[in-house]
Structure 1
């Protein structure tokens, strides 16, 4: 009877899935170890319950994937497993332990790409041999024993992946040297076979997978390869594909091609991080701001690609004024989403070499997040944390897109979100959950204490456009709607004081003498990442 070999990890949410476990399983099966299984758990599940599930499978060998989000839970789980199953042989891997100090953990550590090292561990345990100090050192060395690139997904995976995000690689490695990122340690970029890529994706989609997130560090490194794959993907109507791209190297030919793709099928994640050139130089980030902004503006005008940008707060040499300036410059482009993150001192990342020079203080435990540096005080960081909280509630939620766009014609974005922050702070709302309807009341009280018909209509439109609702809250309507749309008998017919025209993320309102009635209807499926409702004028109400 073949011994039982397990691979496990703890995901942050059920919707996530593990790509790494599947690579390791396939590598071990290809090496002749057939009884290899994987199990994915969630970080909020009790360790004793996870341990009980693992023990049922009676593994002799267990590999555990450890990441920034699951370190403490994983180590607690391992301790329990070792005491429940004293003869269980455990090895750990993943970015969170790839730079662990020697001797800090009581079991072998695999650093970096682990397929070959994992199989080597299995070979040694099969012979009841322990790895030598030399082998343990090599396993802990990042960037050694690079494996052959093989497909990750098997037919047995498909039932477990439905209604989840599937992560997919078409390449490994990154050519850039950004000091805050572990990918800066990569020495080369390697590509998967294109025929294999297409075969895997087609199998996944045929099995009912709807969302695929490509984790290539720079998906557009080879423009012709990017275009060919995206063109092939357009045949899969109703599916969603996410890519990380470098905005300032998107070529004119690619931008012309993107004007032809189905709206909402693709999402781009575009890292900006900072627009301050001196800071970019310090973190070894090559970025042409002018070209980047022009590219993003073109994507906005095309209205085909859903995109979100990233900024990192607290980079070396970056003051609060620098941060505000970067924020305003990116907000001027009106990204669909803007992720505002804080610098993290990931174990092994080159940014750790700048800690002393810039007098950084940061959390010593995951997520290793910035507390202060010599040009950004702890008080300023706390202000930014609150600012980001408010920004996510009101901008990234997409619940106020039309009202915010109108306000940004009159004030800068820092002022806008500071006013919302001040309202929350003065009303002791920062620590408490706020209901959906309450968000709209807060927004109205902050900016429109005595709303004009235009301002009232914008808020009504925001409310009905942003989520499926069969009524308006009392602050937006004096009475409940009495009629519904004939097409579905559910969508309320709402009077507006303006004619409404939607263009992308913009709403054009034209004042009229008489009320205009609209039914704002949300389809069941939407159109990919956009998921925009239809705004239907009703001639008789």
Structure 2
């Protein structure tokens, strides 16, 4: 019996952990092949590849991001392989089984509910004739219009599950893809927008087995790990033990990312990481979602924002760990003004990444079950994103999406950090006002419908500031030039501001005669004339100094081998009298 376990991932670099657990649970008795694709692959190509494998049984791992594409694949497969047994599993089909069996009655034969290791193995036993369907736990099927649902098995003892990481066929791609790993299942919290709130309690895998897997994965080239534990630091002692292990035994160049609950993180743990963790080894993803206390109460989310701020601030000031903070627009009783406050509260913490997401009414969650309480209107199909509720109109949601668009381009990409800090801190009333005004301008200019290159980001911001805040244009332009030059690894051939008819050769002559004018660091480079002209860019502009515009030279030096830029600034007056 040939069995294929398939998944349509969001991107090529992603891997599906679920199908690997299923294979590990049954591979001793059955021939199982893994097949991974992406949601961007042509449906016919995916179908053709699966057809070529000639499976008797095929299972699909289903999530909100791949369910519609998966349905297209299985629909086509059933036409060309009508006898193949199709099994669906995963969070998207677990919590509304009757709906999925009725919708997919011509395509899906069985649905696995919840954890699948035991159920999947029993289904294969059933197909091979060794047990009856009545002996299968946690599966559903639709026969002659009637749903047959078998009770779920007891929760698996995670310490006994075989490793999903030791397949020989995975070794060659470990260095090219993200490795997902879990040390626990379940969540202690009850956030009503999250599927994890449905499972009560937290169970742990064997610590030493997890460490052995991580060692094996690193030895075979894995470098990017993402822990999928819903709250990695729910047990302080467990988190500390794992942090210590990863610090002591990591391979240089490895990155580990965790989902952290910020307000329960103890300061001594953060201090330990600040003192001992190599820079860049860890990344924290922290779900803030909202700073509105009433909203958090309605979704049963306990959060002490002051303690969360303490955590984020300590991590940020330590300079060792990158942080990704999440917000959700559309939570109950949070209107546009309240979400603006949430955004500004969190933006003030200056995380490396700030993700602005929109509430998705996931099947099985408390918010979806009680959607009428807040007049939620949402998409019928995945990802079930909200369109409006009793606090946010569709127009306001579209406006917040404009904020999301430019936030991603201008903050999370970190191309213009000094410029954005100036605009959000000194020019606009609040950070949200900057992103909203710019996002609206971007959308109304038609830029959201066309692509962009790096230079376009600078030109479009320049155009926006010229139209909205012309009084800040000179200093903004200066900072934009500085950000542009310092973020290049090598001397740019053509800058975004174009060629300016300025003869600055006399300034170069002065710098060759007295390089200390540009500072001690520049003088220490000891550049010769050829090096100065070949490896530097010189510009001038108005820079705010103590609130006053000062005519300033901006010099960028690009090291010919290191691929980094050094920026030097000095007032125009320091060289003008020497030129004359």
- Using structure 2 for the length normalisation, give the TM-score: 0.82
Asked if 1:151 is matched to 2:149, the reply is no
Alpha-carbon distance, 1:187 to partner: 1.6
**Hey, what does 2:19 align to over in structure 1?**
21
Q: 1:8 aligns to what SS in structure 2? A: strand
Work out the CA distance in 1 between the residues paired with 2:561 and 2:363. Answer: 45
Alpha-carbon distance, 1:474 to partner: 4.1
Asked if 1:306 is matched to 2:304, the reply is no
Alpha-carbon distance, 1:351 to partner: 1.2
Q: Structure 1 residues 203, 358: CA separation in 2 closer, same or farther (over 3 Å shift)? A: same
Alpha-carbon distance, 1:306 to partner: 0.3
1:160-219 Cα distance to aligned partner (Å, 9 max, x none): 333111111111111110000000011221111121111111111121112111111011
**Hey, what does 2:69 align to over in structure 1?**
73
**Hey, what does 1:535 align to over in structure 2?**
566
**Hey, what does 2:512 align to over in structure 1?**
none
Asked if 1:281 is matched to 2:297, the reply is yes
Asked if 1:251 is matched to 2:252, the reply is no
8 Å CA contact 1:28, 1:119 repeated in 2 = yes
5+ residue gaps, structure 2? 141-147, 509-524, 571-580
**Hey, what does 1:95 align to over in structure 2?**
91
8 Å CA contact 2:552, 2:569 repeated in 1 = no
Q: 1:408 aligns to what SS in structure 2? A: helix
- The number of aligned residues is 522
**Hey, what does 1:478 align to over in structure 2?**
500
8 Å CA contact 1:113, 1:147 repeated in 2 = no
1:218-252 Cα distance to aligned partner (Å, 9 max, x none): 11111222222222222322111111000001102
Asked if 1:51 is matched to 2:47, the reply is yes
Q: Structure 1 residues 266, 145: CA separation in 2 closer, same or farther (over 3 Å shift)? A: closer
Q: 1:431 aligns with which of 443, 449, 454?
A: 449
Asked if 1:519 is matched to 2:519, the reply is no
Work out the CA distance in 2 between the residues paired with 1:92 and 1:22. Answer: 15
**Hey, what does 2:476 align to over in structure 1?**
455
Q: How do 1:343-492 and structure 2 match up within 5 A? A: 343-410=359-426, 411=428, 412-447=430-465, 449=470, 454-468=475-489, 470-471=491-492, 472-475=494-497, 478=500, 492=535
Q: 1:494 aligns with which of 537, 542, 560?
A: 537
1:63-97 Cα distance to aligned partner (Å, 9 max, x none): 11111111111111112222212221121101111
Q: 2:2 aligns with which of 1, 4, 22?
A: 4
Q: 2:110 aligns with which of 104, 108, 111?
A: 108
Q: Point out the more displaced range, 252-261 or 489-498.
A: 489-498
- Using structure 1 for the length normalisation, give the TM-score: 0.88
Q: 1:64 aligns to what SS in structure 2? A: strand
Largest Rg, 1 or 2:
2
Q: Which has the higher helix share?
A: 2
5+ residue gaps, structure 1? 501-507, 527-532
Work out the CA distance in 1 between the residues paired with 2:536 and 2:495. Answer: 14
Q: Structure 1 residues 83, 282: CA separation in 2 closer, same or farther (over 3 Å shift)? A: same
1:431-450 Cα distance to aligned partner (Å, 9 max, x none): 22233212101212323557
**Hey, what does 1:165 align to over in structure 2?**
178
